[in-house]
Amino acid sequence: MGTQQSPQLLMERLRTAQNQHDLDALVDCFDPDYQSEQPVYPARGFGGRDQARKNWSAIFRSTPDFRSELLAVSEGGTVWAEWHWFGTRTDETRFEMRGVTICRVRNDRIQWMRLYMEEVQVASDGIDATVRSLTHTSSQDG
């Protein structure tokens, strides 16, 4: 049995595949039984490498200069990584997402991943308006 690759090296391999737009290398980072979850958007969950290939193919096609930055990685049994994905879409709009992925690794591949990635909203409401919206209160409520 071979030596296990560190989570840091696996996440760097994933980042390199993303930055090179190398679908084969990217899909090879995932276990054949890969499961993807987006807990904030449960309907977006899926299983298998084919859907991962389809998703990333669409991203690379629509964002030809797509780039991925790996900001941090944990080294524990459950691996988390902080990401910044960005580029310019073919319609000249900005593509930018930031967030965290949490995954389990098996045989140097990602077995499952929970994505907490969100589009960056530069022109969004400030914290006071956001808290009012979350709490369903008005500014007069305190």
Domains in the chain (CATH in brackets) are 7-137 (3.10.450.50)
Average pLDDT over residues 12-38: 98
On whether the pTM is more than 0.85, the answer is: yes
Helix and strand totals (H; E) in the chain: 4, 6
Sequence-distant (6+) residues with CB within 8 A of 101 are 80, 81, 83, 113, 114, 115, 116, 117
- DSSP label at residue 90: T
Closest CA to 114 of 105, 104, 124, 103: 103
Number of neighbours of residue 11 by Cβ within 10 angstroms: 24
Tens of pLDDT along 48-69? 999 999 999 999 999 999 999 9
